[in-house]
Structure 1
């Protein structure tokens, strides 16, 4: 209880520090005028194209320091015609440029390269937006911008039609971008959009922005954009019905099925439809969606007591997903789209789906999604629905609500339906330094359980040097989230082979303080101390688990990083638990406390050979654990990257409870033949799951938003490498 009162005290105190920030949308403005000549994307700045348009040049340092003007000059001009919005950037430098890869939509390689990015808030509400970026080598990335608390994050999983052209010169490089109005969502009668430009100068390891704002906010931050002022607001885009059909031809063989003696050959046809109902309200439909070209899941070694959840990889569920996914806290997510069409790792066919997202009014954003899965021999047909809204209140705050429903549409002995409802209020100060979200959620099932609640709050306060945050979750033992993530609720008893739900309370405060050395000759961008603590209490107030962490971090000017971490953990184990295999006796019920120390280092990411490592040793329940991870990659810029990861755990429990060495090996090989043709390869071996897998994908973007994929996938067991299954898929998509 003392900790709870302390958190409330922190919240009240920090309100006093949430003073208003400067209004960058009033300070930084660009008056855009229509073009009188055709704009040709050729990377050549022709006088008749751009001479009549204003130039904005005053970029400021943003990272690693947020003071002073940029060393290298960046010039930006903008214009438009009836159908397109055009941006030209001239990026001066000393001729030394880093281009990690030509692969599109690769977040790590994009921000690790010299790049230019446009961040847009066309609805001008500081709640959602878009980003379009190009590296000096011409690799493109596009994505959505969403708010989590007061921070803006980008997701590259949104795809749409636009174009760019890059040409490199001796002392500068030029990028020209065209974005169709029908690609964006905006208010047709609005004369101002939020906009910012981010320049990545990777040779000097700095990022600069058009507007000046604190380093503790991301460069794409929507609260600190400038204004794009239209002489007349763009009309509603016409021709906004888009059809994206696909056809696949597949060869599938399940070698573990004795009745299948040869590969099955199948062909499928389906597609997506995108309809702009208004200039800022989109309808997405899918029929017999195919996800064979999705990225392969990265295997991990799980030695915790609870399930882990791999990220969503399917594009239909990723686009505009923030309207549904940004509920709950990091520990509990009421909605997690990977629960739809996947059960225990097995894909369940989806017949159709629809998603309506966008703004009803400038301050009201909504989303509705419905998906129908097919009946199979193992699973009943199901209909999944989710509806959510976000109503902007005050300056930047939001009231959010969500309703989730799973309904069986064929006979089943399992639970007929499962429903969740939730309401949240997110307060964000005008400066963005302080944010706090209050939440209440509940679940409904045929059993009419008691204790179906989840409530609490989560927030942060952030200044340049001092940052702190807090989380309080109170979870009832029957808060069921079939379409969400709530891993700690279910506790497995290894002796009785039963799962028991146990409610809990989580209290999680954290604090970080950073030092920023000054001077051009500095070797360190920043260093500082951070500490975070997690306490889980049982419903009767007794201790379930506590974890105390203390770390010191260094980030060097050459992009390398060093982290030193000490951990203390105490677990009141309520049920016998198997952590390393059913062949050993479960760890018995009791109280365990153990400590651990980790060292993590990442080398200069601009080098041809990049490596990082994590090593740690400490006690582990009634034994010890030695863990080590080594990762290295060669970059043959910009056409190829080849990397190898080895993750090792040596766990030695007390006599009778087992000892085991766990190995995970991953090879990644990515080749960019051009910025339209990519070859991706992943080999993975894990002793924990007794699996060796191989995945290869050749992708050719032969036309904007139109691709040909050739995908190969196979899995083997690790005993004699006997094959489990193999598939070859040819998929063709076309954007009409």
Structure 2
């Protein structure tokens, strides 16, 4: 049956591909601009009175995208842009007119961040295929922002090396930019035709403009670019760069001080006009951010965000299908040593596996085929075991040499459609487990870009003592244009689905059916700039053996008024309760959870003000006396000046009389009724000296305690019977404290110096409901990490280096 289903799906997909090949965006009007070649160099200083810019074609007549979609830009606020080029890159000069230059907003931020800023940017597509563009944005404060824009997402982790300068002048403000050709991707041909759009935002009115009009009623941004002509006879430059690094660390923990020095290099090479090879040699991730750890009482592991720059940059292909979780590479060992607990003790166990090296190859051909290859190798790691009787020490391998590989083929067509094949593979030496996963994904839009048909089918193989095969699939249809939108989909996950060697998966053995309807107003009307109303109906059931789990209705809404304040709320309820198949931690068993009614409200103040505050209150009322779940949150941001700001976030959670797993033995599964209180405080501050230099503070204190009130035996029908003989002490308090103080200086294009001080500690106590002072005393009595580190990276471009010699 599953084989027939797959054949039908594949037939449907390839029929759609054949139909879509003739599609084009002919209905979308495309402006055209001519770039002019100049042999003399252009001084990048933000002053546009150079002789070289005279008699160059001008792009103007920008069109408003938000809030009044389609409204022409006023003459008093007009934007004028010119393009030049030489053998090394594109040059852009833009004058943003503004009758009130003193009111141009220009908050300083770190690179790749936009705050209370006016900004201008270009979005350029070297293959002119409406599928993937590169963004180069400059704020009025001179801060550079760059990223990759695709039909699916915007990847701001991508960093390029380019040049820009801004000046406030009597007309408004101006920007000059140089985009080296080695940062662009375009085919080898005599005459280029680049897809091009340009954006401008005036922050004090929260107005966004585009050169080529973008209709917010349908499609995505990449469909609406214009055309840049005139770039001819460009020799594709050698795309080869090196980024060597030097780092040194001083660590103090529990009275012991250690110092180490590291060095290594990242390499980037353009294999051809479309594909790039990235490699990290002797990687060093010592300055990666701390993870926001929590007290996790769920049946599933906590998922952490990637913090390492090599794994964050250029990942748009590898993120396809959510099958690659890069934290697995260099994560925790896959085994814990087997010991004689009466005689032996594990004295050393590695918390992380060391990465030996890693590389990526990625790019897209002129016919729209994207290819991504990732490979990483981690080293053998051993635990140290002490024999308590003899004093002998032995080593045991807890993670062998391991190879991680990801392969992606992503074919795009018809402007807004794609079919993707993804494979991930983990191979460990010796008798450790290996794994493989493969997924086929499709997303096909109709010719008018108003409907899409999407789905996937994935399989996982885990090879240990025997092979375990699991699979999952999704199919759906949606309307993503106009005021009225909808989506209908169904998906399933088999009980043996497991991609946790190189991916991340939690819930299995279920089917889900979803219906969504959305109504939106995208043009200002009355007192509102926009409005979104959403209605969802979800039905879940267990696959093996079949069991109705829950039916969930959800309505949520959001509004933005003319003062640019956003607010909204919603309700959600489960009229028949839930049969939770995961909390018992035992296949075939479930816990009956009473139905709940959830309601929430939120408000976000105008972000242009010096003081911004966001408030959210979420309250779950269960159909059980005394049981509720309350999640308030508060966000405060104060901007003292264009250089300095501070943010405080407070996120408490109160769970009263929740019921969760507390243990099991050969005869019974035990559940506990518990009270849980969590408080999370985070403070971040930043002083930005200029567009290249920043001092930043990050602080987080997380505190969570849990108190068990009563224990039960779980019955086969999911109900609970009170039990007094089972009474372990499961009360606990978890604290986590992190402080980062960081100085960053981008002292040259692509080159950075970072000086970092860190202070961190955490503890878990087998008691709860401690007084606040006593809790802090216990926390600060625990050993603390004090770390000082210096890291310097320097960007070396081959084309510049060869001129040195």
Q: Same fold (TM over 0.5)?
A: yes
Match of 2:721 in 1: none
Aligned length: 680
Pairs within 5 Å for 1:547-562: 547-562=552-567
Q: 1:397 to 1:517 in 2, by over 3 A?
A: closer
Stretches of structure 1 that go unaligned for 5 or more consecutive residues are 1-7, 256-260, 328-332, 490-501, 579-586
Match of 1:339 in 2: 328
1:613 to 612, 615, 628: 615
2:694 to 666, 672, 678: 678
Give, in whole Å, the separation in 1 of the partners of 2:599 and 2:378.
46
Deviations 1:351-395 (Å, cap 9, x if unpaired)? Answer: 111111112443222011111112222433311011111123445
Give, in whole Å, the separation in 1 of the partners of 2:748 and 2:527.
45
Give, in whole Å, the separation in 1 of the partners of 2:219 and 2:608.
21
Q: Does 1:418 find its partner at 2:435? A: yes
Match of 1:481 in 2: 499
Judge conservation of contact 1:37–1:48 (CA < 8 Å) in 2. no
- Give the match's secondary structure for 1:468: strand
Give, in whole Å, the separation in 1 of the partners of 2:582 and 2:497.
20
- 1:300: how far off? 6.5
Q: Does 1:249 find its partner at 2:267? A: no
* Aligned-residue RMSD, C-alpha: 2.8
- Give the match's secondary structure for 1:134: strand
Q: Does 1:574 find its partner at 2:571? A: no
Q: Does 1:373 find its partner at 2:378? A: yes
Give, in whole Å, the separation in 2 of the partners of 1:215 and 1:396.
15
Judge conservation of contact 1:205–1:557 (CA < 8 Å) in 2. no
Pairs within 5 Å for 1:161-240: 161-189=161-189, 191-216=192-217, 221-238=221-238, 240=239
Give, in whole Å, the separation in 1 of the partners of 2:212 and 2:675.
56
Stretches of structure 2 that go unaligned for 5 or more consecutive residues are 1-8, 334-349, 383-397, 660-671, 705-733, 763-775, 797-805
Match of 1:51 in 2: 54
Q: Which moved more, 1:535-544 or 1:162-171?
A: 535-544
Q: Does 1:66 find its partner at 2:69? A: yes
Q: 1:557 to 1:181 in 2, by over 3 A?
A: same
Q: Which moved more, 1:183-192 or 1:272-281?
A: 183-192
- Give the match's secondary structure for 2:36: strand
Give, in whole Å, the separation in 1 of the partners of 2:374 and 2:409.
12
Match of 2:126 in 1: 122
Give, in whole Å, the separation in 1 of the partners of 2:45 and 2:658.
68
Judge conservation of contact 1:214–1:464 (CA < 8 Å) in 2. no
Give, in whole Å, the separation in 1 of the partners of 2:642 and 2:552.
43
Which structure has the larger Rg? 2
Match of 1:427 in 2: 444
Give, in whole Å, the separation in 2 of the partners of 1:280 and 1:20.
24
Judge conservation of contact 1:126–1:222 (CA < 8 Å) in 2. yes
Match of 1:352 in 2: 357
Judge conservation of contact 2:290–2:738 (CA < 8 Å) in 1. no
Q: 1:556 to 1:234 in 2, by over 3 A?
A: farther
1:542 to 538, 544, 547: 547
Q: Does 1:401 find its partner at 2:407? A: no
2:760 to 712, 715, 718: 715
Q: Does 1:641 find its partner at 2:657? A: no
Q: Which moved more, 1:291-300 or 1:276-285?
A: 291-300
- TM-score of the superposition, structure 1-length normalised? 0.87
Q: 1:253 to 1:115 in 2, by over 3 A?
A: same
Give, in whole Å, the separation in 1 of the partners of 2:405 and 2:148.
23
- 1:267: how far off? 0.9
Q: Does 1:731 find its partner at 2:735? A: no
Q: 1:714 to 1:653 in 2, by over 3 A?
A: same
Judge conservation of contact 2:59–2:81 (CA < 8 Å) in 1. yes
Q: Which moved more, 1:180-189 or 1:587-596?
A: 587-596
Q: 1:254 to 1:375 in 2, by over 3 A?
A: farther
Q: Does 1:687 find its partner at 2:703? A: yes
Q: 1:654 to 1:342 in 2, by over 3 A?
A: closer
Q: 1:25 to 1:269 in 2, by over 3 A?
A: farther
Give, in whole Å, the separation in 1 of the partners of 2:582 and 2:140.
56
Give, in whole Å, the separation in 2 of the partners of 1:577 and 1:619.
23
Match of 1:499 in 2: none
Match of 1:4 in 2: none
Q: 1:567 to 1:228 in 2, by over 3 A?
A: same
Pairs within 5 Å for 1:588-667: 589-620=591-622, 622=624, 623-653=627-657, 657-667=673-683
Match of 1:703 in 2: 748
Q: 1:336 to 1:193 in 2, by over 3 A?
A: same
1:437 to 433, 454, 478: 454
Deviations 1:394-420 (Å, cap 9, x if unpaired)? Answer: 4542221111111113x45x41x1111
Judge conservation of contact 1:34–1:80 (CA < 8 Å) in 2. yes
- Give the match's secondary structure for 2:236: coil
Judge conservation of contact 2:697–2:740 (CA < 8 Å) in 1. yes
- Give the match's secondary structure for 2:412: strand
- Give the match's secondary structure for 2:317: helix
